[in-house]
Amino acid sequence: MLIKTSSDIPSSQITSESIYFNRRTFIKGSALTIGALTPKLSMAEQATTVALDYKPAAKEQESGFYTDEPLTPLDDVINYSNFYEFGTDKSDPARYADNMTTDPWSIKIEGEVDKPGEYHLEDILAKVDLEERIYRLRCVEAWSMVVPWVGFSLADLLKQFNPTSKAKYVQFETLHRPKEMRGQQSRFSTIDWPYQEGLRIDEAMHPLTIMAVGLYGKTLPNANGAPIRLVVPWKYGFKSIKSIVKIRLLEKQPTTTWQTLAPHEYGFYANVNPDVDHPRWSQKSERRLPTTFFSPNRMLTTPFNGYAEQVASLYTGMDLSKYY
Ligand SMILES: Nc1nc2c(c(=O)[nH]1)N[C@H]1C(S)=C(S)[C@@H](COP(=O)(O)O)O[C@H]1N2
Ligand SMILES: [Mo]
């Protein structure tokens, strides 16, 4: 096989598919090719992003784990991002997140568990099998992407710490390190850091809910929440909290960043729902990235972001316009 170096490939030809399908080749072993097909990564990200060993996503897998919709190119996944710790512009995370130190990394497990403690990421990862999930990600701002994540089920992680019978909710917290996260320094920032999110325990234990450690076959770029983040594909993107350092099991529903900031606009549940508009815009349709002025790529939004078959039963009897 002819291995092209980054400079041989015009960026217009670097489609998601070329990166994605060549991935299997470089995972097999040649160190030379690692990173060769991802020239759009910054130098720092090329240096820190490494190939992962995982089970690829396949149609035959459990329903919802895979979609054959076109993947959003890696370049867009990295450069069009919300990670307010680094600024509010979509390009700020790619520009500034390289400053975040992700090694060593540990996660504190607190609250209603038999085995609370601080666990090193390596020790957590040693106990799980990585697999790929190709999911739609729908931001509350009405844009969306299709991302090939690499991760493991959150249920497998939580079971390692034996949640007690009082554990009804799970709260997550992002790193708080203003020295490395310029958005946390701003005196004008309205967010009360650290960023916090939460799930009901049955949502957390659902097989679609994963902790992602990679995308496109390699470790997560910092902009996308390295080294470990949550992905809940049937909920608006803000639920999928990045760069997690704390997981707390609780009896009561936790507070979450966006709900605290604007409770009439962002709810605790935040299930993707085309029938419940955001107070300031419609949620009936979405822009699927990549988009251009001439090709806006607009499509209808589907209930639970297309995962209704898998998750609608979690909300039987609930008024979803009240519990938005
Ligand atoms: N800590 C933290 N996590 C976060 C955010 C954030 O600002 N800070 N933004 C959220 C929002 S609004 C979205 S849409 C997704 C975007 O994930 P992506 O950049 O990997 O596409 O991350 C979510 N997780
Ligand atoms: Mo979002």
List, for residues 169-196, the tens digit of each pLDDT value.
999 999 999 999 999 998 778 899 999 9
**11 in any annotated domain:** no
Instruction: Return the SS3 of 76.
Output: helix
**Is 160 buried (19+), middle (13-18) or exposed (0-12) by CB count in 10 A?**
middle
- For 243-264, what is the mean pLDDT? 97
Spatial distance between the Cα atoms of 123 and 245, rounded to a whole number of angstroms: 14
Residue 10 lies in a domain: no
Which domain range does residue 131 map to? 57-315
Q: What percent of the chain has pLDDT over 90?
A: 80
Residue 34 lies in a domain: no
Peptide bond into 296 cis (omega under 30): no
User: Is 14 within a domain?
Assistant: no
State the CATH number of the domain containing residue 200. 3.90.420.10
The pLDDT score that the predictor gives to residue 167 is 98
pLDDT bracket for residue 61 (50, 70, 90)? confident
Higher pLDDT, 21 or 100: 100
Complete DSSP assignment for 251-308: SSPPP-HHHHH-TTT--SS-B--TTS-BTTB--SEEEESS--SS---EEE--GGGGTH
Low-confidence winner among 19-33, 92-106, 173-187, 301-315 (lowest mean pLDDT) = 19-33
Q: Which of 84, 190, 242 to mutate to test the pocket of ligand 1 (most atoms within 8 A of CB)?
A: 242
Q: Is residue 35 part of a domain?
A: no
Q: Is residue 21 part of a domain?
A: no
pLDDT band per the 50, 70, 90 thresholds, residue 46: low
Best residue among 82, 244, 289 to mutate for probing ligand 1's pocket (most ligand atoms within 8 Å of CB) is: 82
Q: d(Cα 124, Cα 160) in Å, to the nearest integer?
A: 9
Ligand nearest to the CA of 229: 1
Omega into 104 within 30° of 0, i.e. cis? Answer: yes
In this predicted model, which residue has the larger pLDDT, 14 or 322? 322
Q: Three-state SS across 195-212?
A: CEEEEEHHHHCCCCCEEE
Specify if 62 maps to a domain: yes
Give the global pTM: 0.88
173 burial (CB, 10 Å; 0-12 / 13-18 / 19+) is: buried
Residue 235 resides in a domain: yes
**Token duo for residue 300:** 């209808």
CA of 16 from ligand 2 middle (Å) equals 22
Q: Count of CB atoms within 10 A of residue 60's CB?
A: 7
**In this predicted model, what pLDDT tens digit does every residue of 7-44 receive, in sequence order?**
333 333 333 333 333 333 333 333 333 333 444 555 55
Band of pLDDT at residue 292, cut at 50, 70 and 90: confident
Total domains present in the chain: 1
3-class secondary structure, 185: coil
pLDDT of residue 40: 52
Mean local confidence (pLDDT), 273-290: 98
Look at the block and give the residue holding tokens 């910092």: 222
Around ion ligand 2, residues with a beta carbon closer than 5 Å are: 82, 139, 237-238
pLDDT score for 3: 34
